[in-house]
Amino acid sequence: MHDHRTTTEARLKRVLEERLWPAVYPESVPLTVGVWHAPGEPVPVAEGIAAPRTPIEPGAPWGPPWGTSWFTVSGTVPEKWAGRTVEALLDLGFDENMPGFQCEGLVYRPDGSPVKGLNPRNQWVRIAAPARGGEEVHLHVEASANPVILDYHPFLPTELGDRETAGDVPQYRLARMDLAVFDQTVWELAHDLEVLGQLMAELGEDTARRWEILRAVERALDAVDLQDIGGTAARAREPLAGVLAAPAHASAHRISAVGHAHIDSAWLWPLRETVRKVARTASNMTALLEDEPDFVYAMSQAQQYAWLKEHRPEVYARVKKAVADGRFVPVGGMWVESDTNMPGSEALARQFVHGKRFFLEEFGVETEEVWLPDTFGYSAALPQLVRQAGAKWFLTQKISWSRDNKFPHHTFWWEGLDGTRVFTHFPPMDTYNAQLSGQEVAHAARNFREKGAATRSLAPTGWGDGGGGTTRDMLARARRLADLEGSAKVVFEKPSAFFEKAHAEYPDAPVWTGELYLELHRATLTSQVRTKQGNRRSEHLLYEAELWSATAAVRTGHPYPYEELDRLWKEVLLHQFHDILPGTSIAWVHREAAERYARIAAELEGLIGAAQRALAGDPSAGRTLVFNAAPHGREAVPARGARPEREAPNGTGCVPRAGGGYVLDNGLLRAEIDGRGLLVSLYDLRAGRETLAPGKAANLLQLHQDFPTMWDAWDVDEFYRNTVTDLVDAEAVEAVDGGTAGAVRVRRTFGSSAVEQVLTLPPGAARLEIATEVDWHETEKFLKAAFPLDVHADRVAAETQFGHLYRPTHTNTSWDAAKFEACAHRFVHVEEPGWGVALVTDSTYGYDASRAARESGRGTTTTVRLSLLRAPRFPDPRTDQGTHRFRCALVPGAGIGDAVREGWALNLPERRVAGSATAVEPLVTVADEAVTVTAVKLADDGSGDVVVRLHEARGGRVRTELACGFPVASAVRCDLLERPVETGEERCEGGLLPLELHPFEIVTLRLGRGATEEA
């Protein structure tokens, strides 16, 4: 038989594109359209509907960037269409290749009730089926002129990312606004041919199945009269029935499709626009659920449900009904799909607390899966948090983006820092915006790494990023792929159904231990420093506000600010979303974040101040109390308590250095700063050894060219290290206050920028503190601060949530080499047996660590560099321009416990409050500093119980006691949501509660207060 395969395939493609798809709507009439352009920000629905309209025709421009236009469309169903299916086709000027990334609309009835959303892949609105001739049509469309930020030539700098700079040039031209007849039979024929054509393209040319499909397609195309498609469509479907009915092989891969619309809570649009994106998508999905009985839709992010509840209660009511029906499925159990690298310990725990609690209170749903398809790497602390939040499964897709190494599993057990394991799945379809195309389905089956041991994978199905969700076309494909020879089997079902089946068939899945490091998007640890600093500061202020408010409530009856803390936590958690905290959103988002962080800080300072004043007593008594919120005592002030201020220890000597510069000496350390303002020696007088690598200078600022191959704000590519400029020229090196302050000030200029640093050796402290202020005006540059250390180490310890993890300083393997930029919270620690160095920071997350051979050839040294600033131009062309302040400290002779302590101390400065109290005793005290308390608060249920969360912080086992500074009536171990766990009540005698923790274990205790201490 002659081979006409390529001809038939080309014929199929053209007939589909040029004849069949257009014939789905064989008849149409134009609608009458009027428009009102809302001034400024979006208006309430009633106002938008009531506003006067001006006539507008297709082809007319509309929509300044970020503007809102209200369109009204009206018309009459022609009499000859009676009994047929009629839809409105409303094209706002869409580019079908950009769903979620351009203009969108929400359709309303005249009474203001929402119908469905409009986007580039969802432009239809069902009017009637069957229609009545003469039926009047009247609809309103709230249209958002969201500008295209990520265009066909991506990553070009644009001013469209902020309404303050975007201008007012219309972004779109109104397109088709018609009433049309929908031909269901033609639509079904087109999907038959599309699915078979896509399947055929994935089958081997030598397989009989491919040729069976090809011949059937030929017969169907022959049966179609291109001048009478509607009249011949049913006949053309007949030759396809047999090949569509052939069942899949028994061994076929099984795909659980889950309706989905990954909606970024902010990214290339501001938060206020996400509120509307969620409403459009939820309207679409609840409407689709009504039309499609086998469809299941899943939505994560409690914050997005909360937005619906507040701003679109009528949509929320539909969602609640669909949830109750088991069709609209809350997943994830987090407040937002947050970044997991940078949020602090308590913040990451509270993502689960607030997310899970919302779903429980609103829907009675206990979410069991953590749903993070798009976050940029996953902390090793997550498995324990997942389990302690009452969940048991984890899903992500993002690791498939790694550039260097292909992850070896798609279904596996993920083991975290403490040894906790969680059953985890990476969809092998390699997308969280699946369309169920033949190519995607075939790729999932071929790519699945567990073949021979497992048979199932999951496919999040629907347009995401900017929203939109699943379409009826995707469901049409799924119906045909449910049991089709040559394809994987596709069925829509809940994520929990997938996980139950996957777990049951693969209980002995392989184990991956440690973080899930994404070998991409490493610069997210540094971009938009103001946002990162706002987050770090807010986390510590929240810790203090809870601690001192709880202490004041127990000690004095001071009212505990439940509502304020709940609201502020949710605000901070929202800004930990994986395109806000990582610094990858448009300028508008980060400008608003800075404003919100300032308001959060002011409010938390007010709560802290009120609680401390209640504890301190009469401010006119002439006494000053020092409050220490840190988990460790310092300078005679206990952890989480207060004592009267004492005299400061003796000062630090500051004398000129031979050859230029100064020498600082406080009896514990001696620091030499040379004439260039560089730290050339930091001698540990206690250990009798030098901290710095021989012949090297520390606190060396280094400037790199930084222009990645793509994803500017996200990425730093390894080649950035090929070029570097050491900033060694100083304009001034001078002793602060004539040398009496034990500090040296250094000023430098470079490019268009300037930097001032103050290096201080505090009296009685074994650390060198460095305060840095940078007036930053560079473009596409990367600023690092280097600390070469005389320590031979093949790994460094970097703090993460509730512990630390080790990363290599070498590049033995491609997996090691890929971690050339990584995340640390408050410290990086480098150690030889018996002596180490900690580098602690107050707001820096990105770092790198490397090793170098000594010039003598004897051993190696280790260099740790902090990542201070970047200057990408997309999506914010002025990223981080302006003044920034950083604090860090170098701590010689530090063990891992010292690193933990110094990190907390730097981030929680002491507070001095005037008062009459002789002391403020801590509510709880831990006997062993290996145990770190991360939260002291009152229980969220308003019972007055004291909740304490703590963890083992050094990576070892510990037996100790928790001493309670108030009468305790009961003590119960709880999960993160403060619900008792099955271990029963703890034994607490004489106010002492025995504790036994394994490495990095998290424990949450709920302490019922004795009657005599009730406030």
SS3 80: helix
Q: Is 284 helix (H, G, I), strand (E, B) or coil?
A: helix
- Give 924's strand partners: 964
Spatial CA neighbour of 489 closest among 531, 436, 535, 536: 436
Token representation of residue 310: 């507040």
Q: Helix (H, G, I), strand (E, B), or coil: what is residue 12? A: helix
3-state secondary structure of 539: helix
**Token pair recorded at residue 572:** 């901070």
Q: What is the dihedral of CA 98, 102, 107, 108, to 10 degrees?
A: 160
Segment holding 865, helix H or strand E: strand 860-870
Structure token pair of residue 355: 């997310």
Residues of the chain by 3-state class (helix, strand, coil), percent to 5: 30, 30, 40
Q: How many CB atoms lie within 10 A of CB 506?
A: 19
Residue with tokens 């308390």: 933
DSSP assignment, residue 657? P
Contact 718, 706 (CB under 8 A): no
Report how far residue 540's alpha carbon sits from residue 705's, in angstroms, rounded to the nearest whole number.
Answer: 34
Helix (H) or strand (E) segment spanning residue 33? strand 32-38
Question: For residue 953, what are the contacts with CB-CB under 8 A and spacing of at least 6?
Answer: 802, 803, 804, 897, 900, 930, 931, 932, 1000
Task: Tokens for 255, please give them.
Answer: 């795909």
Neighbours of 167 (CB within 10 A): 11
Catalytic residue among 374, 465, 706, 712: 374
CA 980, chain centre distance (Å)? 29
- Two tokens at 111? 């009474």
Under 8 Å between Cβ of 783 and 702? yes
374 is catalytic: yes
**Under a CB-based contact definition with an 8 Å cutoff, are residues 371 and 495 in contact?**
yes
DSSP structural state of residue 469: B
Beta bridge partners of 837: 830, 892
Separation CA 345–CA 445 (nearest Å): 38
What is the per-residue burial (b if ≥16 Cβ within 10 Å, else e) of 737-770?
Answer: eebebbbbbbebebeebbbbbbbbbbeebbbbbb
Q: Catalytic residue positions?
A: 374
